[in-house]
Each structure stands twice: as structure tokens, then as C-alpha cells.
Amino acid sequence: MKTKGGRVQTREAVLSYVVSVAVTALIGFVLYYFTLPAINVHSTGFWGFLILIGITFAAVHAGSHHMICKHEITVVGKKVSNVGVVIGGGIAVVAVIALILGGIVSAKLFHAKTYATIITVQDSEFEKDMPETTSVTNIALMDTASARIIGNRTLGSLSQVVSQYYVNDQYSQINYKNLPKKVAVLEYAGFFKWVENRRNGIPGYVMVDPVNNSANYVEFDKPVKYAESGRFGDDLMRKLRFSYPTKIFGNAYFEIDDSGAPYYIVSCMTANAGLFGAMDVAEVIIFNPVDGSSQLYDVKDVPKWVDIVYDGDLACEKYNWYGKLSGGFWNSVIGNKQCKMTTDDYGYIVIDDDVWYFTGVTSVTSDESNIGFIITNARTGEYRFYSVSGAEEYSAMGAAEGEVQEKGYQASFPSLVNIGGQATYIMVLKDTGGLVKLYALVNVEQYGIVATGATQADAIVAYRKLLARNGVSIEGDAEDFAKALITVENVRLVELNGSATVYITGADGTVYKGTLNEDESLVLVREGDKLVIRYEETEIPGLGQIRSWERAK
């Protein structure tokens, strides 16, 4: 390379490399800006990004060398024009090999024990952990689909908001002031709505009460700047990625703290088996979408007001690792001895100010009955198992739907309550429009025992009577309930959702109700009668649910 021409060609070759690197860097930045991979060897997205970079560099270098260099150059017997292609192709090949080998070495075949021991499961007693239920105020009976319908209707009444925003489809299940709520933040209704409104930000969110089937729109004290529907620098995940380039993000859940301030709770994942296997939450980012500030916590140090660190799908997946792989990989494939798994959905319960997931557990060789159920703390990841055998959830849902099959109602995925010491599925029955019409209770051990009611209290009363009628021993009886001696001032018969309900007003103004479906003798009550009523309080002050009655002597 001593000739003048050689020196020129060398400069051309160097220039082609400089151009190739610059163009690849520009393309790489654009790819990174829009795909946002974690710069982390445990992320499959990182290796996929490297494949794109390698291919891009090889293609760009081949083109730049062809345009800049006029002659082929040979250095130590190799063509310079091929070196850049080899480098780019080599990067892509190494990344492909890393993906393939990483997947193999992370497989359950080699790490069954690691997968199985990600969690520990505590055997617990149902009656101790689940106190007797008289009214359901700690269970989110409404599913997300129904929450969306109610939330959209609430937003639809606000003309100044609905024209610019829509409600995010992801409703986060939270515990707010010791009551279950579902919350979803507003989002910009498209690119041009973001352009028009980005200076004003997102003004509020929708809070749904899944117990009382109601919703309301709540305005933020200060508008939210960063959102999933934000563009460029206002995009939530882009802001998080540039703040935490090496973190592998799980789900980001919108929540509010005890004062109503908005936050996103972002789980950061890590591999526990090989390169990509047994992914679990290791850290949590609490992100303020108003000002973009954030704080990173170790998973064990997350504040108590946070509700969702582990999502329900991950909670079920980890239990399945435990249930299937505790006896080893080959046992999970061939023998299935003592292998168990969760059913394919879950419900929510609020216990001691925390949100818990509920799901049944069944043997992998049978999907028609449960051998028990688990609850999982969505914040701490604690697992509790209850050995209560009986019908699995979908059988119970079918039994509830069959009770009112002429109406064509559909059951939501149930949760679990303790009624008189009996493990009981509780669920809502919805019409074709997704609105709640009835409540249903189904006995876990004897799923032929099904009771429905227009309200939770009605359903519970009907269910207790069915248990007694079927000879099921239950804790508590009429003597455990409040007692009132009244003189009947007024009797009204009202039909609610196909159920005849009797309202009895006493001379003191108190009102008591009962259904003729469960106690036909109520039709004999007349004005002026003196009655001794055993009742329990309902959610409405001054309205009691009749448990039993008799004429005063």
C-alpha cells in the first residue's frame, strides 16, 4: 500500500467505515428510540436489537464501500470491502446464537429445582384466614369488562372530556381506604389530540366501585404529563427507558396513593435460571407521571400503599412452576405424581389493606374439580394454600348460569367467601350488555347448592337457608343476629329482577326486607301485626335483611 493510488484507496476505505458507523449509529438510535429494548443480557429484546444492528451495519457498509471506493483493495490477502460485512454479520450471528443457547440453558429441563423454589407456599386454615361473611365489601366482584362499560358511560357524560380523551382499557385493582376499587387513567384520543392537549396534560381518571357497581370521574390536583398515549418525550415507557436503560420492565400499573396522587408502579424483572429463565420481580419503580420523578425500590422495601407489584398472570405462573416441577422435570412430563396447577383465571380479595389474588388449584390429571385454592399477595408475593376440595370455578359458574338459564345471564369469574364456615364461591351474573343483574353463591363442595339474589344480602340470606334445607351444618343461626320487636305500619311488595321482595316498615320508621322466593310466609304479614324479627344490617342504614320472623306473643 505504498503507492499514491493505494494511499487514496486506503483513505476511501476508512471513509467508508466512518460513514457506515455514522449511518448505523443513526439508524440504531432511531430503532432504540421506538423499540426501547433494555440494555441487559438477560433481555431477549437486547439480543434482538443487536441482530438488527449487525444486519444494518453489514448492509450499510456494503453500500457505502461500493459508492466511495472505486477499486477493490487487498490487505493481507483479504478484500477490505468484505471486512465490514463480516463484522456486521458476525454481530448478528453471535446475537442469534446467544438467543438460541440462552433459551436452551434457561429451560426447565436444566433448572427444575430453581423454578420450583421461586416461591414458598404456606398451608393455612380457611376458617381462620377467611372470617365469616355477612356482606361482601372486600371483594371485587365486577370484572374488568364490566368496569370498562361503567367507566365509559361515566366519561361519556362529560362532553368537555370525552371529545379529547378515552379511558385506558387496563383497570388496576387497588385497595383504596380499605375498600376495593378499580382505577383507569384517561388517555389522549389520538396523535392530534395529544398535540392539542399536551400543554394541559391529562386531567383525571375513572374510579369504579366493583362492589356497588358505580363509577365516578376524578380530576387530578395537577394534570398528568407522561402517559401511554403520550408521544415522543411524553411517552410513559420512553421516559422510563431513558431513566432506567438497563432495567427489564414488567407491567406498569396506574395506582393512586392514600391521598389520591397518581403513580405508575413498574415492576423490574430479573432472570433466576440461566440467561432468560424463571423471570421474577426484583425491583420496583414508583413513577410520578405529573413531574416525571421516580424512585427505585428493592421488592421487599415497597411502600405499603402500593397494591400491585406482582400481576395475577405472573402469580399463577410461578405457582404452576412450584406445583408441576417440585418433583422434578421428568415427573412433570411423564409421571405427574402430585403435580398440580392453577385454574386459568383469578379473582381479587382485599385482606388487611392488601390486594390478594384468588384462584383454584387442581391436579394436572383432572380439570373438573379443585383440590384446594391459593391466595397470593399482589404486593409481597406471599402464597397461602387452603385444602378445600370441590368444584372448580368454571363448574360453579355454569351452575350459577343454569339457575337463571331462561335469562341468558353470564357469570363473572368468582371469588371465595366464608358463609357459616362453608367455603363458597361468590360471583355476579351479567346480561348481554355486561351490566350486573344478580349475585350468585355456589357451595364449593356441593356445587348443586346455588342461591341468587338481586343484592348481595339477598343472595346470602337465600344461600344460608339453602344450606340448612340441604342438611349442611353451618356456624351461627338466627340467635346470632340482631332482634327487633316492631308494630307493622306498612307492607309493600316490590318485584326486583324477577324476585318478589317484601318491605316491612315498623312504627319507629325502620324498614326490613325479605324475598318471597325464600320465605313465602312473609305474604301473611299485615299492617298492625306485632312481629319479632331477627335481621342483619345491610349497606343502607336503617334497612335490615330479615333472617327469621315470628309473631309476638
Q: Look at the block and give the residue holding cell 383525571.
A: 204
pLDDT score of 75: 40
Q: Which set of grid coordinates corresponds to residue 366?
A: 383432572
Contact 463, 419 (CB under 8 A): yes
Q: Which set of grid coordinates corresponds to residue 550?
A: 315470628
Give CA–CA dist 135/463, Å, rounded: 12
> Which candidate, 436, 445, 443, places its Cα nearest to that of 460?
443
Burial-class residue 426 by CB neighbours within 10 Å (0-12, 13-18, 19+): buried
> Which candidate, 297, 283, 298, places its Cα nearest to that of 38?
283
Residues 6 or more apart in contact with residue 149 via CB below 8 angstroms? 433, 434, 435
Taking only the tens place, the pLDDT of each residue in 291-321 is 999 999 999 999 999 999 999 999 999 999 9
Give CA–CA dist 360/31, Å, rounded: 43
Taking only the tens place, the pLDDT of each residue in 198-223 is 999 999 999 998 877 788 999 999 99
User: What residues pair up with 163 in beta bridges, in sequence order?
Assistant: none
Over residues 139-161, the mean pLDDT reads 80
Give CA–CA dist 502/518, Å, rounded: 11
Taking only the tens place, the pLDDT of each residue in 464-491 is 888 877 767 666 554 557 888 999 999 9
Contact 118, 282 (CB under 8 A): no
Question: In the chain, what is the greatest distance between 2 CA atoms, to the nearest angstrom?
Answer: 125
pLDDT score of 80: 46
pLDDT band at 26 (very low <50, low <70, confident <90, very high): very high
pLDDT score of 547: 77
Q: Which set of grid coordinates corresponds to residue 144?
A: 374488568
Does residue 28 surpass a pLDDT of 70?
yes
pLDDT score of 77: 46
Taking only the tens place, the pLDDT of each residue in 215-258 is 899 999 999 999 999 999 999 999 999 999 999 999 999 999 98
pLDDT band at 497 (very low <50, low <70, confident <90, very high): low
> Which candidate, 311, 319, 410, places its Cα nearest to that of 360?
319
**pTM score of the predicted model:** 0.81
Half-sphere exposure of residue 403, counting CA atoms within 13 Å on the CB side?
Answer: 25
Over residues 180-194, the mean pLDDT reads 94
Say which residue, 416 or 42, is predicted with more confidence: 42
Say which residue, 357 or 79, is predicted with more confidence: 357
Give CA–CA dist 235/240, Å, rounded: 9
Q: At what angle do helices 312-325 and 108-116 cross, to 10 degrees?
A: 110
Q: Look at the block and give the residue holding cell 335481621.
A: 535
Tell me the three state secondary structure of residue 541. coil
Taking only the tens place, the pLDDT of each residue in 400-415 is 999 888 888 999 888 8
